């Protein structure tokens, strides 16, 4: 169960999800500690660089132009605005900035060129850069990689079976194709989904089957709880319980042991105790800031107070996520000397990884 597998079945995953909670938590925490530092959590900042007016019909999304959600739209932000936001995020403890634009797909032209410059600018701040811009081609993915993009987010959202009940303007296969295009560029993949959209447990398992079947598996898997927004088709959905989130995080950790599991939307409804259980179950990333694109999120000061209370440390940028136990206490998130970085790309990213290795205090 500790080895990375790509042949999970829905039945196997459901059996894990349905385990007695204490047994499930023990199994997940054991795997988490084998592959990750349990006291380190990455803090990321999600920035909406272009808000509203999306032509898609995702049933959960307040940015769809066809829904009346009172979301204040904005055109693409300037590079200087994005840099200012990134500096603020870095000062508050974030090591990663994820830029989201409400586009169905990336279009070549001045706006995409502007996004590429944003990526270059944030890279110079010694921060990881992630983008979520909709569908993109292989050539566009390579251009993002050349600009220094570290990760691309493109969620599957749910299982292939339930997908058509959530979205009709884009096929499930389109999402897999974008992920494949990203892989060809050597940018890392961030892909997960949302629970609480009316799906069955089998759909949650089906989503994990699809993600785990990817080879390699995504480096990051966000697990979101639906934030029901008035005006969307899912406005009246009942919130999921914290136990459902804990079980989903734990199951994801077991099925994808080396992946960074990102505790994403819905944290405003979770107590510190609930979030602590998610960290114990294998979550090792959160999004900080008062908004996740357009939906509420805990204040960064609250998160830092929670980290202090739980004894958690923010993860540094440009590190190997799955950690061997060969470094001294206190520096367990640095890349061990003599080992190639797990994520490498040409140019300055490799240089940064090498610089991180040079700073590591490795047991001789």
Other Cβ atoms within 10 Å of 151 Cβ, number: 24
131 is catalytic: no
CA atoms of 204 and 193, how far apart (whole Å): 9
The single residue listed with the structure tokens 């029901």 is 228
Point out the catalytic residue in the list 96, 131, 170, 190: 190
Contact 136, 116 (CB under 8 A): no
278 is catalytic: no
**DSSP-derived secondary structure for 55-119:** ----TT-TTBTTS------B-PPPHHHHHHHHHHHHHTT-SEEEEEE--SB--SSHHHHHHHHHH
The two three-digit tokens of residue 41, written as one number: 């959590």
Q: Across 88-205, where does the E strand assignment appear?
A: 96-101, 128-132, 151-153, 188-190, 193-195
- Going from the C-alpha of 123 to that of each of 188, 263, 354, the distances in angstroms are 15, 24, 16
Point out the catalytic residue in the list 130, 175, 183, 247: 130
104 is catalytic: no
CA atoms of 34 and 30, how far apart (whole Å): 6
Point out the catalytic residue in the list 262, 267, 345, 352: 262
Point out the catalytic residue in the list 61, 131, 175, 267: 61
Nearest one of 363, 344, 227 to 354, comparing CA atoms:
344
Contact 278, 300 (CB under 8 A): no
Contact 42, 285 (CB under 8 A): yes
**DSSP-derived secondary structure for 298-362:** --HHHHHHHHHHHT-EEPPSS--SS--S-B-TT-TTSPPTTS--SS--TTHHHHHHHHHHHH--B
CA atoms of 258 and 127, how far apart (whole Å): 22
Active site residues: 54, 58, 61, 98, 130, 190, 262
């Amino acid at each position: 169960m500790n080895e990375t597998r790509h042949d999970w079945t829905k039945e196997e995953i459901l059996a894990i999800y349905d385990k007695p909670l204490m047994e499930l938590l023990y199994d997940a925490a054991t795997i988490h500690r084998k592959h990750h530092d349990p006291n380190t959590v990455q803090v990321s900042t999600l920035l909406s660089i272009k808000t509203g007016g999306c032509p898609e019909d995702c049933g959960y999304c307040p940015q769809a132009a066809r829904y009346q959600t009172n979301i204040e739209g904005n055109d693409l932000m300037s590079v200087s605005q994005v840099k200012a936001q990134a500096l603020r995020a870095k000062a508050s403890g974030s090591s990663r900035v994820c830029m989201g634009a409400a586009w169905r797909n990336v279009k070549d032209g001045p706006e995409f060129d502007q996004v590429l410059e944003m990526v270059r600018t944030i890279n110079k701040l010694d921060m990881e850069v992630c983008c979520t811009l909709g569908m993109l081609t292989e050539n566009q993915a390579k251009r993002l990689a050349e600009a220094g993009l570290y990760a691309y987010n493109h969620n599957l959202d749910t299982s292939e079976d339930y997908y058509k009940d959530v979205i009709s303007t884009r096929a499930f296969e389109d999402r897999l194709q974008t992920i494949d295009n990203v892989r060809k560029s050597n940018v890392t993949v961030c892909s997960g989904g949302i629970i609480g959209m009316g799906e069955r447990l089998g759909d949650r398992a089906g989503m994990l089957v699809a993600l785990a079947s990817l080879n390699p598996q995504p480096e990051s898997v966000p697990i979101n709880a639906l934030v029901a927004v008035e005006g969307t088709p899912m406005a009246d959905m009942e919130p999921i319980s914290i136990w459902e989130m804990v079980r989903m995080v734990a199951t994801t950790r077991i099925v994808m042991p080396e992946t960074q599991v990102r505790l994403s939307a819905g944290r405003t409804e979770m107590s510190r105790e609930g979030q602590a259980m998610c960290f114990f179950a294998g979550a090792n990333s959160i999004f900080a800031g008062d908004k996740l694109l357009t939906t509420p999120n805990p204040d960064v000061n609250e998160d830092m107070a929670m980290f202090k209370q739980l004894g958690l440390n923010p993860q540094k940028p440009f590190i190997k996520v799955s950690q061997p136990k060969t470094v001294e206490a206190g520096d367990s998130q640095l890349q061990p000397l003599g080992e190639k970085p797990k994520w490498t790309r040409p140019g300055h990213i490799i240089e940064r990884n090498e610089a991180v290795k040079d700073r590591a205090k490795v047991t001789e």
